[in-house]
Amino acid sequence: MIDKYCVIGNPIAHSKSPEIHPVYAAQTGQELVYERCLAPLDGFEATIRRLVAEGYRGANVTLPFKLEAARICTRLEERAQAAGAVNTLVFEGGEIIGDNTDGPGLVADITRNAGVSIKDKRVLLLGAGGAARGALLPFLKEGPREIVIANRTVATAAALARDFGGYGIPVSGIGFSEIAGSFDIVVNATASSLAGDLPPVPASVFRPDTLALDMMYGNQATVFMDFAAGQGASVRDGLGMLVEQAAEAFAIWRGVRPATADLLKTMRP
């Protein structure tokens, strides 16, 4: 029987994951089926139980279920524990194992696809929600010089900084109005781009050698990307992060990591 996987969310029709994983399967010689699964907003756990009963081997989880996915797992990997959220599930031996590949996908896109090292760099993370939390541990493992978390609610940024303050690297949480100086890497982890808005970040954070990355992606550059490019920064959207996090999930499930460069080129508008 061919192994089955899916991506679960609500809504789910927009997900590009079913376009990505069959390409990885063909590339690596793996036989699998990958589908979309629409879960009722009040029926995520029941949906997972059904998938396990039907013999699925694993699943990706997207909005709005990443936090609930972490709660129903019987075991969480380190990255999922740190993120407090799960986007990759493994169904194995009666267990539901949760992992989070969003942060590793972001790091892989920056270091591999953009060719920018994070080591000894000054990093600005805009936003202090789940997307920012998921990125912090993978970023810290790359050895940056400093990470500054800026958020509208200072207390939220400060609390997040405290949660990740034990890795020997300075992590601070501040308000947007307190941002000072320029940064090597600026990541927009807010949802502002969904509404076509710009987070209140000063132009002075960008230099010509700054990499500015928006976790959102679409057919056009986001307002954040346009603003950063206007200050001379190099810009990226979140498509590379999506492709790389999918490769990490595929490697967890199948034990082989697919190459991503060609797929990323074909998916880029």
For every residue of 192-224, DSSP letters joined together read: GGGGT------GGG--TT-EEEES---SS--HH
Gap between the Cα atoms of 233 and 205, Å rounded? 10
Gap between the Cα atoms of 107 and 26, Å rounded? 25
Gap between the Cα atoms of 128 and 97, Å rounded? 25
Which CATH number, 3.40.50.970, 3.40.47.10, 3.40.50.12280, 3.40.50.720, labels domain 103-237?
A: 3.40.50.720
Tally of CB atoms within 10 A around 149: 26
Q: Strands, E, within the chain: which ranges?
A: 3-9, 32-38, 58-61, 75-76, 88-92, 95-99, 122-126, 146-151, 171-175, 185-188, 211-214, 234-236
Domain positions in the chain: 3-100+241-267, 103-237
Give me the catalytic one of 66, 121, 141, 265. Answer: 66
Backbone angles phi, psi at 61, to 5 degrees: -125, 130
265 belongs to an annotated ligand binding site: no
84 belongs to an annotated ligand binding site: no
**Residue 163 has what pLDDT?**
95
1 belongs to an annotated ligand binding site: no
Gap between the Cα atoms of 1 and 187, Å rounded? 42
User: What pLDDT, in 10s, does the model give residues 181-213?
Assistant: 999 999 999 988 878 889 999 999 999 999 999
**Residue 166 has what pLDDT?**
92
User: What pLDDT, in 10s, does the model give residues 232-260?
Assistant: 999 999 999 999 999 999 999 999 999 99
3-state secondary structure of 255: coil
Quote the tokens at residue 173. 């949480």
Quote the tokens at residue 13. 């029709």
**Residue 207 has what pLDDT?**
97
**Residue 269 has what pLDDT?**
67
Backbone angles phi, psi at 176, to 5 degrees: -60, -35
List of the chain residues with pLDDT < 70: 269
**Residue 132 has what pLDDT?**
92
Domain 103-237 in the same topology as domain 3-100+241-267: yes
129 belongs to an annotated ligand binding site: yes
Active site residue 119: no
Give yes or no for a contact between 176 and 199, defined as CB atoms under 8 angstroms apart: yes
State in words which class domain 3-100+241-267 has: alpha beta
- Closest to 219 (Cα-Cα) out of 14, 7, 9: 14
Give yes or no for a contact between 7 and 39, defined as CB atoms under 8 angstroms apart: no
